[in-house]
Structure 1
Amino acid sequence: MQEKIEKQLALFSKRMISLDELERIIQPFVQTYEEFAEMVLALEAKGTIEMVKAKGRTIRTPSLAFQYRIHKHLLMKNYHRELQRYQNQLHPAIQLDEYYGKEPSVWERDKPFILKIDAYLRTHNLPREVAAAPERSVELVGDEKWIDEGGGREVLKRIGLFELLRIVPVSDPLMFAINPTNIARTSQLHLIVENKTTYQALLPALCDTFFSTLIYGKGKSVISNIEQFSMQYPIQATHRFYYFGDIDREGVSIWYSLSKKIPVSPALPFYRACLRKEPTRGKEYQTERAEALLSFLSYFDLDEKWWLSELLASGLYYPQETLKTWELQHIWRETDWTS
């Protein structure tokens, strides 16, 4: 009983607790005031809670303090002992190390799911076949939305299981066109463009280039859809990706997020051609990601970095549509992309 009460105190949101708040925690475990007071005094004697002297004590017998200070560092020892006990009992693939640095409330929230995952692993062990997130979610906890919408992905990463469970994302198919003359190459180029207009403008020139595919990014969609590439295009080769999007905060952010998924370089000839045009005013509402802009600018020379920084800071931008169809196709055909 005391262990359960101490766990509740460890989860309590504040360092100070009033007698009324303490009563609400202990009340389910006792029947009388005497039993309640005995439990509070036992916690005092143990050092788990300490009287706040300035608040005084009640006149009832036994007398209790009106307010206590919770010594959470002592309660954390019990929490760590519990983690160690569970670590010794759970399937060896489940790792609890990350919980030692988190609040006990995180462990309490995750524990019911971890126990279900443990039961699954003891019956089926680690899966050999890949499965979509909803399918694996049902297998593990009986809720198809748990991994993608219920925080399950984070839980599985905390316990070191996400990669081991061979989960594939459910995302829209990646949209791209193929250049059949280049699919046999051992080293292949792929161009990703943010907008539909640019995709349609470049498509007729695809077979005149050294690129194997032209990929329609559909804005932010490409960040998740790119994970489908190897399954939709199972060609054994060295693949090199280029990206061309709007020169605005959103376009830079999309490229940066995509670069965290695959190695992808800004398609500099297209971007530099934009910089020779007149910029457009607008999109001041977009939020800047400082790390994204810094990474993007690292591909440009000093003068270009200065101009791009000034451009975006002053509320100007370049849409992809700045370049006309003939310009896009000429740049794509004539640039030496392999150097």
Structure 2
Amino acid sequence: MKTIILSFLQDHKRKKVNISQLEEYMIRHHKEAYMDYDAFAETINELTEEEILIGVGGKKTTDFNGLYPPLYNQYWNRAQKEEAKPFMNPGDVTVHDSIDLSYYRGREEELHKDWPFIEKISLFLSDEYPAEDYEWLQVNERSAMLFGDEKWLKKHSAFLNRIGLEKEDLRMIHTPEPFSYKLGIPKAVPSPLKGIIIENSDTYASIKRLWDEGALPFQLIIYGGGKRIESTINYLQHIEELSYYDLDLYYFGDIDREGVAIWERTARGHKGTLKPYLPFYNTLVDRFSDQATEPETDDRPSLAPFLVYFTKERATVIRNVLDEGNLLPQEYVHYGIMKRLVKRDG
């Protein structure tokens, strides 16, 4: 069915297609392929997810066909063959006053491609949607509400800038990355408290095992989540229990350009000192430097702030690993090794 509908859409002469006419065409000319309305609606929704069809209108009842599952009465057709595309001129279309189409001057083909999304946003800014849709929403919620695709705005992050809008214009709330941590302050409080950030999930899972076994010399463990920690590190200042104590914070991640770059940017964003946790890093260098692999990264971090924590010999090894573009994954220092190292450190 999908192939037949695509062929119909490619040969369709108009920018919009009426869904009832398309269904009638399928029933009349391709009854066996049509099967039933549910299969037809599923195919239309697939084409919508692929951005070949874009529903026309907002969320008014009259915009839909009254059946279940509901389909828009009309769709923008983006499957037309190139020669059939009627390109637009920014001066020939009407949009909400907040939208700036100056970017599209001389880019008529790009305007034609973006127009279904611009139109939906224009309708939203013109108060054409139900009142409940004007609550402040998370980015993915607004994207799903407007376009039927919760990730569309994130996948097309430059789109709003092209039409001169900010997230606030669409009443969107920035969603901070989740901050995962465990905090345990004993009765005999050490001074200062010790905490550690772990870059990757498997190593963090092993650290949690050691935490549950009471084997860690840390009162705070934090899951870094790769680059995510760069934007979440300042959440520490919102943890009330920590506000009463000094904190020595350490970091353990991969030894590669990206891993060092994450440490560097996180250290800059942290109000205190963020030190590499040497028992883990030293073991990674001493035992596994000959097992370096090739990562995929374009980062070019400044090495000096990181290497200053290591002996001259280890710093040379680390520099060589990074200069060659290689990777020492933190997972080499597995649960069993960490258990021995933290016991010695504690």
TM-score, normalising length: structure 2? 0.49
TM-score, normalising length: structure 1? 0.50
Max Rg structure: 1
